[in-house]
Structure 1
């Protein structure tokens, strides 16, 4: 134990003397949590809409005003020239065209409204799809308001939609737990690997080789500081999520920290394997970057796993972040417990055992 404490003291001193690492450890999670939730948003806003008004009635003007006043839309033009607006759609100046036919208000009063045409730009499929849905919803709500103001019964809603766990459909609430996972991948995967390879390149590992320090104690001394840093970074990230975005976990903090501890063990073991198989910084960085890209793109961090092909979905079972992502989002948004998510906890524990055992077997106390 005394040897371990001496090595830990050496690691912390070496870390704090580094002119870059302490600053990066503090600045990186703060910047990620303050900036990324705003820029990595799948919410669709500022949809350019052109209204082709052939009716020129109070109802059509009311609809155009609603679109202009909405945060989701930008009223590009109000005209009666459909071909001209279609050219704007083809040029990418607008995202959707709302065409109100002649006699729209008259037919609406008689209870036999005409169909309203919406032409959307489908190049950006998500923006086109969501923009059309927003436009249809705005149209329905405006017509219901007009019916109520004129003393007519509003059309009955046949479908009642309730969004559970994320009532406002804020994409930030979905992404913030994922960003915490990215921080742990970087802090507890990349940094230990680069630290170990740095010992090889600088030649200081040769001084350890001639000492009676066992490979287990040496590796443990390399990893423990980053385990503590990872838990501290997670705490900072959750605090920023609470103070800046008002997002607090519905479930218990213990469930989050237990999953985080297992995931930190997984990533640190993976980092040691990468370092053991590399002889310089470049090899380590390229190897880690390759696998981290797979983790980010295929583990459900950015896109739903269910949207992937069947062969890709099978591959995701071999990716540790998949299970941690499921735990974080379930605990944060749904209030899930360890008992609810025990298969994911068991999978992380299994990965931790396999990765760290492999790291111990591939480590050789030689330069």
Structure 2
């Protein structure tokens, strides 16, 4: 313990001596947590719509007004022909084209049906799919309004109807920030812990102090613990600041057991710090460590369930996600903060992360080469 105490004093002095790095550790994650959830919006808005109205009837104008009043579409203009509207799509000035044929109102009243044509710019598949779905839903709602207006009111209802009542659990207002903020906090915690620990031992190699440490009687596991504990403490500070920002800025407060959340984060930090230290034992320069850590971070983020559901991934990707520690933290954060889960619900995830921590730190201790 006395040896570890001296090592911790050395590490903390190095950390607090460099005020710029300390500010980056504490200020940068807070600023990112404030900005990123405001930009990472799953809701598609401001969809540019071009209209080709060959009918120019009250019904067609009513349909266009209903579409633009929804708040999802922005009317780019009217066109005399479908070819002119296609030109707007080719110039990326329009995302959708709605063509209303001649005789739209007459056919609706006399024949009870009238097909419409919708052309969608599908370069951005997500925007195209959601935009087309929004427009189709608005047209169906408009069609239902017309049917109700044309049916004569009767004393008794002649056709049965099914009423569906929905209840949104855990996120009643469907606020995307409630879904994104816990995941972004998990990613920031991983980046801070992973990058700092990955650069730590490598910095000793570049400066040359690693050789002085190697000839001392310090044991390998003492050295690794001395490198791990300071950043474990800083990681908890960053996590606490992130929770405060989530509560103050977005009004998100954990619904579940806070102690369970911190307990999971404590074990998770051991795993991600061990991974960073493992990388630092294999690299000789900070540049090498940065590139390797960046590669793994991209994989962790994109396959961690933050933006894309793991259940929607191919089978092989789901297997790889089981080896991704970030996926466990993202899921646990959402379980505790939104669903109100406790120890019993997170125990399987905690066991997996504990396995990561033991393997990665054991590997880092074994791989650290020290002169005896």
How high is the TM-score relative to the length of structure 2?
0.88
Deviation at 1:107, TM superposition (A): 4.3
Deviation at 1:169, TM superposition (A): 4.3
Deviation at 1:355, TM superposition (A): 1.0
Deviation at 1:159, TM superposition (A): 6.3
Deviation at 1:226, TM superposition (A): 0.9
Q: Which stretch of the first structure deviates more once superposed, 43-52 or 4-13?
A: 4-13
Q: Which stretch of the first structure deviates more once superposed, 138-147 or 275-284?
A: 138-147
- Please give the secondary structure, in 2, of the residue aligned with 1:98: strand
Question: Structure 1 293/152 Cα, relative in aligned 2: closer, same or farther at 3 Å?
Answer: farther
What do residues 192-243 of structure 1 show as CA deviations (whole Å, max 9, x unaligned)? 2212211121122333334333322222122111111111111111221222
- Please give the secondary structure, in 1, of the residue aligned with 2:94: coil
- Please give the secondary structure, in 1, of the residue aligned with 2:300: helix
Given the alignment of the two structures, is residue 325 of structure 1 paired with residue 330 of structure 2, yes or no?
Answer: yes
Deviation at 1:145, TM superposition (A): 5.5
Paired position in structure 1 for 2:243? 238
Distance of 1:211 and 1:267 partners within structure 2: 28
1:178-327 counterparts in 2 under 5 A?
Answer: 178-327=183-332
Q: Which stretch of the first structure deviates more once superposed, 183-192 or 112-121?
A: 112-121
Contact 2:200 2:277 in 1 (8 A): no
Question: Structure 1 116/169 Cα, relative in aligned 2: closer, same or farther at 3 Å?
Answer: farther
Contact 2:257 2:343 in 1 (8 A): no
Paired position in structure 2 for 1:132? 132
- Equivalenced residue count is 367
Paired position in structure 1 for 2:89? 89
Contact 1:54 1:80 in 2 (8 A): yes
Distance of 2:177 and 2:82 partners within structure 1: 37
Distance of 2:53 and 2:344 partners within structure 1: 58
Deviation at 1:162, TM superposition (A): 5.4
- Please give the secondary structure, in 1, of the residue aligned with 2:342: coil
Paired position in structure 2 for 1:39? 39
Given the alignment of the two structures, is residue 353 of structure 1 paired with residue 358 of structure 2, yes or no?
Answer: yes
Q: Which stretch of the first structure deviates more once superposed, 48-57 or 168-177?
A: 168-177
Deviation at 1:142, TM superposition (A): 4.3
Paired position in structure 2 for 1:105? 105
Question: Structure 1 19/366 Cα, relative in aligned 2: closer, same or farther at 3 Å?
Answer: farther
Distance of 2:150 and 2:11 partners within structure 1: 76
Match of residue 346, structure 2, among 336, 341, 347: 341
Paired position in structure 2 for 1:21? 21
Distance of 2:162 and 2:87 partners within structure 1: 36
Distance of 1:142 and 1:239 partners within structure 2: 45
- Please give the secondary structure, in 1, of the residue aligned with 2:45: coil
Q: Which stretch of the first structure deviates more once superposed, 343-352 or 165-174?
A: 165-174
How high is the TM-score relative to the length of structure 1?
0.89
Distance of 2:70 and 2:179 partners within structure 1: 24
- Please give the secondary structure, in 2, of the residue aligned with 1:365: coil
Contact 2:187 2:326 in 1 (8 A): no
Paired position in structure 2 for 1:76? 76
Deviation at 1:189, TM superposition (A): 1.3
Distance of 2:162 and 2:77 partners within structure 1: 31
Deviation at 1:2, TM superposition (A): 3.3
Deviation at 1:128, TM superposition (A): 0.8
Contact 1:49 1:96 in 2 (8 A): yes
Question: Structure 1 48/161 Cα, relative in aligned 2: closer, same or farther at 3 Å?
Answer: farther
Distance of 2:168 and 2:53 partners within structure 1: 34
